[in-house]
Amino acid sequence: MVFNSLLVCEECDMLLREKPLDPGSMVICPRCGHVLHRYQPEGLQRSLVFSLTAAVLFVISNAFPIVGLTSQGLESSTSLLGMVDSLFHDDMPLVAILVFATTFLMPALVIGALIYMLLPLRLGFLAPNVAAIFRIMHLSKPWAMIEVFMLGLIITISKLNALATVLPEIALWSFVCLMFALTAAAANFDPRTFWDQVEKLQ
Amino acid sequence: MTDHVLTGTAAHVVGCDGCGLAHHALSDQHDMCCLRCGLPLHFRKPDSLNRTWALLIASYVLIIPANLLPVMKSSTLAGTEDDTIMGGVIYLWESGSEVLGAILFIASIVIPLSKLFALTYLLISVRRRSTWQPKTRTQIYRVLEAVGRWSMIDVYVASMLTALVQFGNLMSINVGAGAIAFGAVVVLTMIAAECFDPRLIWDAANQTQATTDSPKENHAV
Ligand SMILES: [Zn+2]
Ligand SMILES: [Zn+2]
């Protein structure tokens, strides 16, 4: 048995009755302050636009090198996957897997899952296995760390500046944009609004 | 907090952590799944305190090699040099990037340590059925859950430098064993925070409220 008019706070277990909301408002748990629900009718649409942007930027970010280095005639540059590859060659498979998962695999899963869920919904039909894809997104989201990677890049560049000339390449700029697009896509996706829409279609 | 609060547990209602749908259920059963999105349902996260303790203790052990072993090894014609996490922070600070040095210090030293201590405190406070400021403790939990990921910075820096600086004998940088331990600490503490159930903080407060309320009711009768 399910109750469509009840909300249970995930952080303090308080039981709340769902009230009709004005667009843009949110349900905050009166007991612990947890934000349970953000009602944004346009949120899913915005999330889709940002996810599609993120998908394009993700491809660009991984097709090109991120930074190049020149020093006394020596040159080198690396892409994200090149970095994972050199970690494998350096006998650091655990670090390679960690870097690959948090900067490539998990972000890709989040972007892919958001598009898979939202694009058909926008076109008025329901993709098969939407629940499984929702679970994948729910579980991979905490492990996508593009924004942390960006800060790491800034520190890397400033460290290298002392040794050599650092040349920012295309993927660096597209990574910066990817970071914003992915954050916006995830922030605009409200699970409760999404499932309300899905149930309307069923 | 003297008002009576009806909890999901008391009303036999359990909400899905993923999609929020409220279900009727009598007690925690192992095979309950959300009817809408299929994620497992539970009133309280399974075996929360034991799992969190186990992961936390493993993190306490690993944080020692994470700080003592080099995260990075640089070799030049002049010789080789090992860099621990703190060494990297000092290097940035001394080379004039105070802001970045401070960011790295907060991300790699302050955040992991305060996360370990804060989780330990929360676990002990739940075990001792503390009723002190449940809202504040929930906020502590929220913060430690949100900031943990930023500790990964140093792993990325070492990886990036390894990929870029490979000039044979002239100069090369490689990831050190400390990076494995450090990455493991970040991952384990993130899972530990995920295993901890903030609702346990409120359970103790609820029970004490119930026992202090009942004598008053007797007087009224
Ligand atoms: Zn709450
Ligand atoms: Zn669900």
Q: Where in chain B is the domain with CATH 1.20.140?
A: 47-220
Judged by a CB distance cut-off of 8 A, whether residue B58 touches chain A is: no
H or E element that contains A38? strand A35-38
Q: How confident is the model at residue B215 (pLDDT cuts 50, 70, 90)?
A: very low
Cα–Cα distance measured from residue B173 to residue B154, given in angstroms and rounded to the nearest whole number: 14
* Range of the structural domain that residue A67 is part of: 46-201
Q: A26 with A85, same domain?
A: no
Give mean pLDDT, residues A135-155.
94
Check residue A21 and give its pLDDT. Answer: 75
Of B20, B167, B175, the CB nearest to A192: B20
- The answer to whether B143 and B135 have CB atoms below 8 angstroms apart is no
Q: A32 with A64, same domain?
A: no
- The answer to whether A71 and B173 have CB atoms below 8 angstroms apart is no
Q: How confident is the model at residue B212 (pLDDT cuts 50, 70, 90)?
A: low
- Coil, strand or helix at A70: strand
Ligand 2 centre distance from Cα of residue B37 (Å) = 4
Of B7, B139, B152, the CB nearest to A14: B7
Judged by a CB distance cut-off of 8 A, whether residue B6 touches chain A is: yes
Judged by a CB distance cut-off of 8 A, whether residue B167 touches chain A is: yes
Q: A74 with A105, same domain?
A: yes
Tokens 């008053």, located at residue: B216
| Residue of higher predicted confidence among B196 and B215 | B196
Under an 8 A CB cutoff, do A142 and B149 touch? yes
Under an 8 A CB cutoff, do A151 and B153 touch? yes
Q: A54 with A35, same domain?
A: no
Check residue B209 and give its pLDDT. Answer: 61
Q: How confident is the model at residue B206 (pLDDT cuts 50, 70, 90)?
A: confident
Q: A18 with A105, same domain?
A: no
Q: A116 with A167, same domain?
A: yes
Per residue in A107-130, pLDDT (tens digit) is: 999 999 999 999 999 998 888 999
| Closest Cα in chain B, distance from residue A182 (Å) | 16
Q: A12 with A108, same domain?
A: no
**CATH second-level architecture of B47-220?**
Up-down Bundle (1.20)
| Closest Cα in chain A, distance from residue B67 (Å) | 16
- Coil, strand or helix at A124: coil
Per residue in B82-97, pLDDT (tens digit) is: 889 998 899 888 888 8
Ligand located closest to B138 CA: 1
Residue type at A117? M
Q: Comparing C-alpha atoms, which of A74, A62, A51 is closest to residue A183? A: A51
Q: How confident is the model at residue B1 (pLDDT cuts 50, 70, 90)?
A: very low
DSSP B26-67: SS--TT-B-TTT-PBP-SS-TTHHHHHHHHHHHHHHHHHHHH
Cα–Cα distance measured from residue B221 to residue B219, given in angstroms and rounded to the nearest whole number: 5
Q: Is the pLDDT of residue B217 over 50?
A: no
Under an 8 A CB cutoff, do A92 and B175 touch? yes
Q: How confident is the model at residue A146 (pLDDT cuts 50, 70, 90)?
A: very high
Judged by a CB distance cut-off of 8 A, whether residue B105 touches chain A is: no
Tokens 């992961």, located at residue: B55
Q: A189 with A152, same domain?
A: yes
Share of chain A above pLDDT 90, in %: 66
Q: DSSP assignment, residue B7?
A: B
Q: A20 with A96, same domain?
A: no
Q: Is the pLDDT of residue A56 over 80?
A: yes
Q: A17 with A82, same domain?
A: no
Bridge partners (DSSP) of residue A3 are B22
Give mean pLDDT, residues A167-192.
93
Per residue in B23-54, pLDDT (tens digit) is: 998 877 778 899 999 999 999 998 999 999 99
Please give the torsion angle defined by the CA atoms of residues B18, B22, B24 and B28, in that order, rounded to the nearest 10 degrees.
Answer: 30
Judged by a CB distance cut-off of 8 A, whether residue A93 touches chain B is: no
Check residue B218 and give its pLDDT. Answer: 39
- Chain A residues inside the 8 Å CB shell of B19: 134, 191-192, 194-195
Give mean pLDDT, residues B155-181.
90
Q: Is the pLDDT of residue A137 over 70?
A: yes
ipTM above 0.90, yes or no: yes
The radius of gyration of chain B from alpha carbons, rounded to an integer in Å, stands at 23
Q: A120 with A179, same domain?
A: yes
Q: A7 with A104, same domain?
A: no
Under an 8 A CB cutoff, do A95 and B138 touch? no
Ligand 1 centre distance from Cα of residue A36 (Å) = 8
**Per mean pLDDT, which of A22-26, A54-58, A192-196, B203-207 is the most reliable?**
A54-58
Question: Total structural domains in chain A?
Answer: 2
